[in-house]
Amino acid sequence: MVPHPHSDDALTLARLLQEPALRRARIHAGRTGAVTRLDWVTPWAVALSQEEPLTGVLVHAHAADLAASGSSLADAAGRLAELGAAALLVDGHAADPGDAAAAARLPLATMADAVPFAVLNRLVADLTLARETHVLRYGLAVHRALAELLYRGAELSALCSQMARMSQRPVAVFDTQGHLAALEQRQPRTVEAPDLVAAFRAQAEALGATGEPTELHPRLAPFTLGARELSCVLTPIVLGGRHDGWILLLEETDDPHPHDLAEHRVLVEQAAPIIGTEMLRLRSVQRAQEQARGDFVHGLLHGRFGTVEDISARATHYGFPVRSWFGVIVASGVATPADVDAPGRLQALATQAARLLPEQERHTQAAMVGDVLVVVREAARRGSMSTPDAAMDVVAEYATALHRWLGGRKDQGGRPVRVAYGRPVVGALAIPDSYREARLAHGLQGRLGLRPVCGYQELRVHAVLEDVAASRTGRSFASDVLAPLRDASAGELEATVLAYVSAGGNVNAASRDLHIHRNTMLYKLDRASRLLGMDLRQAENQFTVWLAHTLDLLADTSAEVDRVVGPE
C-alpha cells in the first residue's frame, strides 16, 4: 500500500529534503517519489559493490563521480533500481531534460549545491533515531498508563477503556474460544457487542485467530463489520508461552493513516502482556471460585451438612435454593488420561454442563467426582405444586440434553458417554439419596448393557431387590446358588447359564448369542443342572438363577457405590 503523503511514522524522501542543507533539492518523481520511505543512506561507490538488496536505502552520488564512471543519470538509476534501492540523490547536478527518464526508473532528487556524504549520513541517522525515540517514548507512556491501572486493581474493562481513550477507537478482548471478554469504545457507540462477536467468529480463520498464533506481533488485517469494510490491528495475548486470547483494535476505515496505525500497533503491543497478566489473575480467581463451588457440590452429594441452616450459610453465596426439588445426574466417559495432569479442562466441562438448557431457568451445580461428571439439577421450585412425575420429566430431559452435548463435543473423539440419574428429592439435605440412586443406576447401566441414558426409576425390579441384596439372607442365597457355577472346574458355565436364562429358556437363541453349537449348549446346560442340583429347563429354577445373579450384582454394585457416595 502506498504511504500517505503526510505520513510521519517513517522517514520519507520529502521529509529528508525539508532539512536546511537539502532544501534546494528537487524531487523528479512526483507524489509517489516524495513519500518513498528511507531507512538509511550509502554512497554511490559503496552501493555498487553491495551484494545484499538495497531495500530502504537512499544512494548519494556526486554528479562528477557519475561522469567519471561513464554512467549517465538514467543508467545509474536503472542499476540502482535493479539492486532494490529506495531513491537516488545527486548533488552538483544541473537540471537536465534527461532527469525525467532517470526518475521513471527510480525516485530521483537532484540539487546544484554539493552536500558532503557525512552531512547527509548524519541527517538520516538523526531523523531515523528520532522516530525510534518517539516510538519508545509513546510505548513507555502506554505501558505506564496501563501498568498503573493494573497496579490499582483495575479489571479488564478498565484497561480496555484506557486503550479506547488513547486510540479513540473501539478495543475488544477475546478469549481463545472466541468469546468476548471486554469491549470498550468512545461515545457515541459505533460497535455493538453481538455484531462484533459474530463478525470475529466468522472471520477468525482469515484473521489467523484460530488455534495457536504463529505471529506474535501486531498486524493490520481487513475486517468486515456488517456492511462496513474496515480494518483492525490484531495481536495475540501470550504470557509465559501460554496463549490466552486476542486484542482487537478496530480502525475507522480500511486504509488507516500510517501515523495512527503506527501508534495503534505500539498500543496493542504494549497492552498485550498487561492484559495477559490481568487475564491470568482472573483465571486464578475463577479457578479458586470453581474449586470452592466444587467443594460445595461435594458437600451436598456426600451429606456433609447436618441441617438446612448449615447448608444455607454456603448456599446463599451461590443463590442455591435449598428447599426446591433436586435430581442428581452422573455422566462417565468424558475424562481422558491427559486430564490427570491438567484438570482445568474437566473443571471447564463442569462449568459448561451447568449452563445447559438455560431457558428452563433451573438452578444447576456441577462438579467432577474423580472421572465422573456429577450435576445437581433443580427439578421444581418450592411452592410450585409440582408432582414427582413432573420433576422426573425435568431431570430426564436434562440428562438427555447432557448426553447429546457431551457426545457431540469435538474433543470427545467418538468415545461413548453414559448418563444416569436418580429420582428427584425434596430439599438439599436429601440430595445424597438421589446421588446414590444415580450412582447405582450408572453402575448397573454398565453391567447390564442398558441404554446410554438411564434413570433409577427404570430399574424398578432392581430397586425392590436392593435391600434384599444387602441383607445377610440375600448374600447367602446368591452365594449358595452361584458357587457351583463359579468353581474353577466349572469353566464358563455361569456365562452359559445366564445367557440361557436371559434368552427365556430358548436354547437356540442362547447358543446364537454365545456363538456355539446347539449340542454344545445342551451339554453345558446338562452339566450345570447336575452341579446346581436343579433342572434348568424348569422356569422356577431359571428364576432362581436369575434372582441369585441379580442379588449378587446388586450387592457388588451397592458396595462400590457406598464407597464412592459415603461421607469423605
2-56 tens-digit pLDDT? 334 334 457 888 888 888 888 888 888 655 677 788 888 999 989 888 888 899 8
Q: How far apart are CA 195 and CA 189, in angstroms?
A: 13
Examine residue 322 and state whether it is found in any structural domain, yes or no.
yes
Q: Are residues 308 and 275 in the same domain?
A: no
The tens digit of pLDDT for each residue in 376-410 reads 999 988 766 678 888 999 999 999 999 999 998 88
Q: What is the pLDDT of residue 340?
A: 57
In the structure, what pLDDT confidence band is assigned to residue 493 with cuts at 50, 70 and 90? confident
Cell numbers for 145:
498508563
User: Which range of residues forms the domain containing residue 501?
Assistant: 467-565
8 Å CB contact between 419 and 446: no
Cell match 452359559: residue? Answer: 496
Helix 431-448 and helix 258-301, axial crossing angle in degrees, nearest 10: 90
CATH of the domain at 346: 3.30.70
| Total domains in the fold of the chain | 4
In the structure, what pLDDT confidence band is assigned to residue 453 with cuts at 50, 70 and 90? very high
Average pLDDT on 159-172 reads: 94
- Contacts for 311 with CB less than 8 Å, ≥ 6 apart: 299, 300, 305, 320, 322, 428, 429
Average pLDDT on 415-425 reads: 93
Q: Are residues 328 and 451 in the same domain?
A: yes
Is pLDDT of 558 > 90? no
Cβ atoms within 10 Å of 131's Cβ, excluding its own: 16
8 Å CB contact between 468 and 474: yes
Lowest-confidence segment of 70-84, 421-435, 478-492 by average pLDDT: 478-492
* HEC-encoded secondary structure of 22-35: HCCCEECCHHHHHC
The tens digit of pLDDT for each residue in 171-203 reads 999 998 889 999 999 888 889 999 999 999 999
Q: How far apart are CA 252 and CA 268, in angstroms?
A: 16
8 Å CB contact between 377 and 327: yes
Average pLDDT on 502-522 reads: 89
Q: What is the pLDDT of residue 6?
A: 38
**Residue 5, SS3 per DSSP:** coil
Determine whether 111 is exposed, middle or buried from the number of CB atoms within 10 Å of its CB (0-12, 13-18, 19+).
buried
- State which of 90-104, 226-240, 372-386 shows the largest mean pLDDT: 226-240
Examine residue 7 and state whether it is found in any structural domain, yes or no.
no
How many helices (H) and strands (E) the chain has is answered by 21, 16
**Residue 11, SS3 per DSSP:** coil
Q: Express as a percent the part of the chain with pLDDT over 70.
A: 95
Q: What is the pLDDT of residue 198?
A: 94
Examine residue 142 and state whether it is found in any structural domain, yes or no.
no
Q: Are residues 310 and 422 in the same domain?
A: yes
C-alpha Rg value of the chain to the nearest Å: 39
8 Å CB contact between 92 and 66: no
Q: What is the pLDDT of residue 4?
A: 40
Q: Are residues 314 and 229 in the same domain?
A: no
Examine residue 97 and state whether it is found in any structural domain, yes or no.
yes
Q: Are residues 510 and 443 in the same domain?
A: no
The tens digit of pLDDT for each residue in 256-314 reads 887 788 889 999 999 999 999 998 888 888 788 888 888 888 888 988 888 888 888 88
Average pLDDT on 212-223 reads: 90
Q: What is the pLDDT of residue 29?
A: 67
- Please report, to the nearest 10 degrees, the dihedral formed by the alpha carbons of residues 353, 359, 362, 365 taken in order: 20
Examine residue 366 and state whether it is found in any structural domain, yes or no.
yes
Is pLDDT of 315 > 70? yes
**Which of the pair, 372 or 567, is modelled with greater confidence?**
372
Contacts within 8 Å (CB) and 24+ apart, 229-237: 229/254, 230/254, 231/255, 231/256, 232/207, 233/261, 233/264, 233/265, 233/267, 233/268, 234/207, 234/208, 234/209, 234/268, 235/268, 235/269, 235/272, 236/272, 237/173, 237/272, 237/275, 237/276, 237/279
**Which of the pair, 404 or 558, is modelled with greater confidence?**
404
* HEC-encoded secondary structure of 445-469: HHHHCCCCEEEHHHCHHHHHHHHHH
Q: What is the pLDDT of residue 341?
A: 54
**Which of 402, 425, 456 corresponds to the end of one domain?**
456
DSSP β-bridge partners for residue 186: none
CATH of the domain at 28: 3.40.1390.20
The tens digit of pLDDT for each residue in 463-474 reads 778 778 888 888
Q: Are residues 370 and 450 in the same domain?
A: yes
Average pLDDT, the chain: 86
Examine residue 25 and state whether it is found in any structural domain, yes or no.
yes
**Which of 129, 144, 168 corresponds to the end of one domain?**
129
Is pLDDT of 339 > 80? no
In the structure, what pLDDT confidence band is assigned to residue 98 with cuts at 50, 70 and 90? confident
CATH of the domain at 544: 1.10.10.2840
Q: Are residues 321 and 439 in the same domain?
A: yes
In the structure, what pLDDT confidence band is assigned to residue 126 with cuts at 50, 70 and 90? confident
CA distances from 204 to 170, 199, 231 (A): 18, 8, 14
Q: What is the pLDDT of residue 420?
A: 95
Q: Are residues 163 and 231 in the same domain?
A: yes
Q: Are residues 261 and 339 in the same domain?
A: no
Examine residue 67 and state whether it is found in any structural domain, yes or no.
yes
In the structure, what pLDDT confidence band is assigned to residue 424 with cuts at 50, 70 and 90? very high
Q: Are residues 262 and 314 in the same domain?
A: no
**Residue 14, SS3 per DSSP:** helix
CATH of the domain at 188: 3.30.450.40
Is pLDDT of 59 > 90? yes
Residue 250's identity, in one-letter code, is L
Q: Are residues 361 and 244 in the same domain?
A: no
Is pLDDT of 349 > 80? yes
Q: Are residues 186 and 46 in the same domain?
A: no
Q: Express as a percent the part of the chain with pLDDT over 90.
A: 31
Residue 209 per-residue DSSP state: -
Examine residue 550 and state whether it is found in any structural domain, yes or no.
yes
Q: How far apart are CA 239 and CA 80, in angstroms?
A: 44
Q: What is the pLDDT of residue 455?
A: 92
**Which of 425, 456, 487 corresponds to the end of one domain?**
456
